[in-house]
Amino acid sequence: MKISGYQLFWLVYTLDYGKTAIFTISPAILAAKQDAWLSIIVASLIGLATTYIAVRISLLHPKQTFIQYTQTIMGKWLGTIILIPIFLMWIAITGLILREFADFVFIALFSKTPLWTISIIMLAAVVYITSTGGLTSIGRCGELIGPISIIGSLLIILLSVKDWHWFRLFPVYANSGLLPIIKGSLFPASFIAESFMIVMLIAFMPQPKRAMAASILGVAAASISILFITVIVILVFGPHLAGHFVYPIYSVVTYISVMEFIQNIDVIIVLLWIIGIFIKLALYFFVTSYGTAQLLRFPKWKKSIWLITPIVFGISLLPRNIDDTINFANFWRDVIFPVNLVGIPILLWIVGSIRKKYRTNTKTV
């Protein structure tokens, strides 16, 4: 299995854009009001920093995945202990993304269809692409679907122009201040930092040195898209109303009406979002399956797919309602983000760099 730098760019873009634009704009607006766009800029800078660290760790051992080089850097037992929270995170978030997808499709399209049916259809598609083509097929889907996601965003921007009210962006900073802007940035930052997943992907690149440019550009492009979407939500609904929507960008789309001719385009946007979330879910599913095989030393990694599939489906059934998934999102922001996506990568980068420098000096002597 191989992926190019171009494919990595689109995978990172798709990974960071769709779910962040759907779920994190409301918390940002609720905290920072009309200055939520400043929160998105802060979140983007945090996301770029975590992505930079993730690539630097991977380039210390470019031919190994995160599972392998964590044990190389920290030793077998300590490395395995560090991997446990990361591994649990990947399994849990795969199941919860599946549930969030089902909830959104249920609300937007199929309100009379059982949630578990929607989940099984998506999970079957993910299992198929992972078991047949693995990362190669996911990468090819990413380079096809990524541009389509950008076209969908441009469509929203162009068709909502007549509903923009620029005064809703003012005053800038005066009503919020630094603390609400920082607080509003944490949710989107924790989602953008999911680009940490590249620690499992760079080992499949024939030219790993291209990973830095592809990853950083992917995060930057996704951040710019989220920034535009946030501004449009504020321009259309204002900060007080938009902060209370569960899916504010979906509300903008349902609001679009051009000359009473172009209406009901929400179905198109939902379909674009579904194919985007398919890529994200497939990536998490592949990383979890491949990581399981390496951690448990399976001779053939695809056998782990049949172990992971029922676990992921079971996790997707656990939330009783949307409030439960929101509670997990709070746990993700307050615990998983600082520990798994910031603390552990920084620790590995520091220890790995020191050990590599020590080995280089020893060989020189």
Is the pLDDT assigned to residue 190 strictly greater than 90? yes
Higher pLDDT, 19 or 170: 170
Query: Within 10 Å of residue 138's Cβ, how many Cβ atoms?
Result: 26
Q: Using 50, 70 and 90 to split pLDDT, how confident is the model at 81?
A: very high
Which one-letter amino acid corresponds to residue 77?
W
pLDDT score, position 259: 66
Q: Measured between alpha carbons, how far is 365 from 360 in angstroms, rounded to an integer?
A: 9
Q: Which residues of 350-359 are buried (b: 16+ CB within 10 A; e: fewer)?
A: eebeeeeeee
Q: What is the torsional sign of CA 29, 241, 148, 287?
A: positive
pLDDT score, position 365: 61
Higher pLDDT, 203 or 329: 203
- Highest mean pLDDT among 29-43, 150-164, 269-283 belongs to 29-43
Is the pLDDT assigned to residue 327 strictly greater than 90? no
| Averaged pLDDT for residues 263-292 | 84
Give the length of the chain.
365
| Averaged pLDDT for residues 79-83 | 92
Q: Measured between alpha carbons, how far is 224 from 138 in angstroms, rounded to an integer?
A: 24
pLDDT score, position 328: 85
Contacts of residue 193, defined as CB under 8 A and 6 or more positions apart, other chains included, come to 46, 47, 50, 51, 337, 341, 342
- For the entire predicted model, the pTM comes to 0.92
Is the pLDDT assigned to residue 349 strictly greater than 70? yes
| Averaged pLDDT for residues 33-62 | 95
Q: Which residues of 18-55 are buried (b: 16+ CB within 10 A; e: fewer)?
A: bbbbbbbbbbbbbbbbbbbbbbbbbbbebbbebbbbbb
Q: Using 50, 70 and 90 to split pLDDT, how confident is the model at 12?
A: very high
Q: Using 50, 70 and 90 to split pLDDT, how confident is the model at 363?
A: low
Q: Using 50, 70 and 90 to split pLDDT, how confident is the model at 73?
A: very high
Is the pLDDT assigned to residue 29 strictly greater than 90? yes
pLDDT score, position 139: 92
pLDDT score, position 260: 66
Token digits of residue 282? 């497939």
Is the pLDDT assigned to residue 288 strictly greater than 90? yes
pLDDT score, position 336: 93
Kindly report, residue by residue over 124-140, the tens digit of the pLDDT.
999 999 999 889 999 99
Is the pLDDT assigned to residue 364 strictly greater than 80? no
pLDDT mean across residues, the chain: 89
Q: What percent of the chain has pLDDT over 70?
A: 97
Is the pLDDT assigned to residue 265 strictly greater than 80? no
Cβ pair 61, 68 in contact under 8 A: yes
Is the pLDDT assigned to residue 356 strictly greater than 90? no
Q: Measured between alpha carbons, how far is 177 from 175 in angstroms, rounded to an integer?
A: 6
| Averaged pLDDT for residues 230-241 | 91
